[in-house]
Amino acid sequence: MELPRKKPGRATLVLLAALVGAALATVALWPRGGAAGRDGKLHLVCTFLPVYVFTLNVVADVPDVDVRLLVERDVGCPHSYSLTGQDLKLLSEADVIVANGLGVEPFLDRVTRGQHAAEVITISDECDVLRLRSGEAEADDHDHADDHADHHHDPSDVNPHTWVSPRQAAIEVRTLARKLGQVAPPRAEAFRANGEAYARRLESLAGRMEAAARSFTNRNIVTGHAAFDYLARDLGLNVVATLSVVPGETGSAAQMARLIDTIRRTHAAAVFWEPPFADKVAQTIARDGAVPVYPLNPFNTDAGLPPAATLDDTRRMYENVMEQNLATLQRALTTTTAPAE
């Protein structure tokens, strides 16, 4: 039997308000990042998984650099993430916050308003950004109930998912290495060398994916989310429709009908859906549109991935995921042929 819950008294509410206020004050008053923190180390806090993996590669084997992850690996894109008290404490200890930018981490607006806020490095500043296609800005507001529930990236409707492209990821890595070097000049050359080596690996990966794409026999695809637009641009794929609906829900009958009509009219090769969200929405649309469903991973979470046993395994996670994506794309897009123009 469940006991009735006692409503918090006025004293309890006052105490809770004081604790929250103290936590926010801590965030606003942490010392500005510099060459190192009080213990001589450079303390970096990375917003979410791809930023974390890129940073681990840039700082590899550089002494006295501490790298922490803010949003847990299995959460996904932090579009609607709400900071916890533990997060605020972690941020208060940071010399530098490393973020993707382009509005994918809106919670940063809250923690960087203080005059003495930590240095914030955004790694997407030099990327060749895409705009969200017509309708995606509105549709994405309802995408992914748990980790994509509020998709207001910024007023210009820029697509923030730059890291999904290995080409853009390489640009981000070089930007990160350069900016970290500016924060910690004694370590700048080590960051630059690591960043260049990793960026070249990503460019090699991009080259392999682009070479394989030349053999695709059907380039018309449907995706579950706008995250894949950058990869589609790299590989010359034509995204004929984006589902952009809450996982597990079918959307309106009119929306479903339009999607299925587009799939049939364009002879789309496949529907690609983010794991672990390959649910009944994609399955229904694929069945009615007579196309197969495949998982495609935008690397915003490690959900469904083998656990990383070592630090080097974590550093290689992005490359391994993109290699898996390439194998999936080859399987899906070399078995069907689009109609002749």
> If residue 234 lies in a helix (H) or strand (E), which one and from where to where?
helix 229-235
Torsion of CA 281, 282, 283, 286, to 10 degrees: 130
d(CA 62, CA 56): 10
d(CA 254, CA 250): 11
318: DSSP letter: H
- Give the predicted TM-score (pTM) of the model: 0.82
CB 290 within 8 A of CB 267: no
Q: Using alpha carbons only, what angle is made at residue 238 by residues 257 and 101, rounded to the nearest 5 degrees?
A: 100
**Tokens encoding 58:** 């840039």
Type of residue numbered 318: Y
CB 210 within 8 A of CB 170: no
**Tokens encoding 10:** 């006025």
d(CA 275, CA 293): 11
CB 73 within 8 A of CB 50: no
């030349």: which residue's tokens?
214
Give me the residues paired with residue 5 across strands.
Answer: none
Cβ count near 115 (within 10 Å): 7
SS3 1: coil
157 phi and psi angles, rounded to 5 deg: 55, 40
User: What is the residue-level pLDDT of the chain in tens, covering all 341 positions?
Assistant: 434 444 455 554 444 444 444 444 433 333 444 446 668 899 999 999 999 999 999 999 999 999 999 998 878 778 888 999 999 999 999 999 999 999 999 988 877 666 556 899 999 999 999 998 765 544 444 343 333 333 344 445 899 999 999 999 999 999 999 999 999 999 999 999 999 999 999 999 999 999 999 999 999 999 988 899 999 999 999 999 988 755 455 567 888 888 889 999 999 999 998 876 656 777 787 788 889 999 999 999 887 788 888 999 999 999 999 999 999 999 999 965 555 54
List the domains of the chain with CATH numbers.
Answer: 23-206 (3.40.50.1980), 215-333 (3.40.50.1980)
CB 134 within 8 A of CB 47: no
